[in-house]
Structure 1
Amino acid sequence: MTERWLTPPSLLDNHTSVTAELLPGNRSSACFHADDAFKYRAYSVTYLLLFPVALLSNIGALVVFLLQTNRRNSASCVVMMNLALSDAGFSLTLPLRLAYYFRGGVWNFPDWLCRLCVYCFYVNLYTSILFLTLLSVLRWLAVSQPLRHRSMATPARISLACLAVWVFVGVSSGPFLSNGVTERAGLPRCFEPSSPASWERVLILNYVALALGFLLPFLTIIGCYGSIIRRLTARGGPHGNGLPDNSRRRNNRRRSVRLVSLVTATFLLCFLPYHAVRTLHLHAVCGGWRCGVTLALQRAVAVTLCLAACNSVVNPLLYYYSTRTFRDSMRDAQSSLLSSRGSRTSFRPVLTWTRRRNTT
């Protein structure tokens, strides 16, 4: 299961850089390494923009979640905390990637750091997918079966489910730790395969990874959200806790629609293009397509991989726009900061006047 899940992405996070003997008919390796400059620029610009935003927003989200004593033990809050932790951990590896691409693809750090960067990318990618899926299932239970949601979605059970996601993805990503620094053109390289396998075999494994890592969670989310939308748009929709409170129902409906929209957009913009283009690129390599087509697909892989990395800054929007208590906590923190600044500012004239009076 581990090898099926994660072998294809490891070859593609290596930016599909392969040697000439891998290509059908021993075609020229110019179809791959001659276009490294485009990939390096794309990754450099993307990670340079992502790093400060992803780090600050996800650490800030963790702080807000921890300060919400009344919400900390809710099921959705537990899932969102784990999602923010995953994104924050990935953002910490971005400076190493930036240093690598700014140096033109030369890795001057220890070998274990190279392995860790590759490992963290896919741990973040697939934990994000599974945590979003879990969050969608929880929302479906809350809207469609509220009584069952209360009995099943306890903080202890959801914490165990999140732990299972971490263990499953962490163990499944183990093969990434075996791919470290390699030599190419006399220089140490990272994110490139050390012992490339048969591309036909990689293509088969890619479909297994595509099914387990993307399609199954995506179909689960579509099913949950289809049921939620039917429930919310039906006449006489759900009454929160059996109470015909129109204001409460409107707020619940609004939060559900926001969650549906943001999670669906995340899958369509961040995850779907990467998995689709990755599959096409493997077909191009295994089928011996023209070099121009292969290069175009390779560039598309680089762009869609950048989109996949952007999920680390999209998720904080999910917390803000779909969770009322999170917005309230952010506003309270902003108000406290502004009030503290105002008190310090108003105190300065008094302090200055007191000093002048004492000197006279």
Structure 2
Amino acid sequence: MRGHSHPNMTGNSSSAKLDNATLALFQDVNTSIAISVIYVLVTAINLVGNGLSMWLLLFRTSPKSPSIIFMINLTVTDLALGTALPFQISYQLHGYNWNLGPSMCSFLTMVFYTNMYCSILTMMAIAIDRYLGIVRPMLFRETRERKSIAVVSCLLMWGLVLCVLYPLMTTDLTFDVPELEITTCFDVLKINMLPSVSAWAAFLFSMVFILFLFPFCVTTFCYIRVIRKLASDSKTVQKERAIRLAFIVLLVFTVCFAPNNILLFAHAVLRLFYEKSLYMAYKLSLCFSCLNSCLDPFIYYFASKDFRQKMRQILNLHSLSSADSMKLEHKESLHTEFSKVRTESTATSLITKRPHEES
């Protein structure tokens, strides 16, 4: 399923021979166990973190601003990945032997890719929304209009990703390996999945450049402009949050998405034209690509004030602020009592002076 690309782009027949490096990968038990352990941890953190996030975003956050709509969209894709990963864990632990059929293989592969690229596009949308709100506040001032644009944007993201990944939906992604008596799922692709080398080039270009590199550049530009704007306005607290948000988003891009997409492109080029492979490195990079689903709740925390407040309440992180609030209330109470005493004292003084003044 998740071994994205072509360790061996074979001919049309499922009985084609695989190279020794590919066969060695399928027999590497230690690597399979290590990858499975990472997936188990990611699944647990994903389902807990994004389950809580979804509950807060849907039922405890109001009104539904464009940023909240984008966050809900991102959480849906993360939870879909969290539910799909257990199948990948089982596949790894069974020695790359897929026994759930071609349809399930294609469906779960689509779930993974959709999560990755919808996450990238959604993070770009959140960055654009913050850019418009802080750097260009006069644009799209009407809240209802911005909400409609956010909903339409989410639908367009899904449409774009599904169009690019359409070949994966219409191809049998399983492959029989008689030497090992296993059936792989998306770890070996048939060369006839696409009609020509040009079609493969277009497919890879769309994934790497349109769905990754372009959104990365737009997101980086937006956060740099936001930070510069806040720095010039001297809003220290807001600037610090913007910097943290930008740091987390760019961390997700550079750690989770960049290695995976760069290795995908490099491996495919080497495989198609030079009969070489980077598949082992690419396979390991898949683990890092899953981490984005664990980091997304931190993006929500810094991107939405309402979400941040609700999360602090849920996690009892408001204790310090509550203590500060109690201190402030105590000071205000003392000030009120002091003012009352002064008022009463002044009134008494005026009463005692009045008979003397009348005389």
TM-score (norm: length of structure 1): 0.76
1:1-360 equivalences under 5 Å are 13-18=3-8, 29-36=19-26, 37=28, 39-71=31-63, 73-151=64-142, 154-178=146-170, 179-185=172-178, 186-193=181-188, 195-197=190-192, 200-201=197-198, 202-203=200-201, 205-234=203-232, 237=233, 249-288=235-274, 294=277, 297-335=278-316
| C-alpha distance in structure 2 between counterparts of 1:298 and 1:180, whole Å | 17
| C-alpha distance in structure 1 between counterparts of 2:52 and 2:206, whole Å | 36
Percentage of pairs with the same residue: 24
Structure 2: stretches of 5+ with no match in the other structure:
320-359
| C-alpha distance in structure 2 between counterparts of 1:288 and 1:157, whole Å | 45
Residue by residue over 1:141-195, the C-alpha shift from the partner in whole angstroms, topping out at 9 and shown as x without a partner, is 1111112242376222211211221222234323222334332214332123452
The alignment yields a C-alpha RMSD, in angstroms, of 2.8
Give the paired residue count: 306
| C-alpha distance in structure 2 between counterparts of 1:258 and 1:223, whole Å | 16
Residue by residue over 1:296-346, the C-alpha shift from the partner in whole angstroms, topping out at 9 and shown as x without a partner, is x2221012121112111111111123333222212323449x9xxxxxxxx
The structure with the largest alpha-carbon Rg is 2
Shift of 1:200: 4.9
| C-alpha distance in structure 1 between counterparts of 2:138 and 2:269, whole Å | 48
Pair 180,279 (structure 1): closer, same or farther in 2 beyond 3 Å:
closer
Residue by residue over 1:255-278, the C-alpha shift from the partner in whole angstroms, topping out at 9 and shown as x without a partner, is 322221111111111111111122
Structure 1: stretches of 5+ with no match in the other structure:
1-9, 238-245, 339-360
| C-alpha distance in structure 2 between counterparts of 1:31 and 1:187, whole Å | 16
Shift of 1:214: 1.2
TM-score (norm: length of structure 2): 0.76
CA contact (8 A) 1:140 1:227 kept: yes
The secondary structure found in structure 1 opposite 2:91 is helix
CA contact (8 A) 2:121 2:157 kept: yes
Shift of 1:120: 0.4
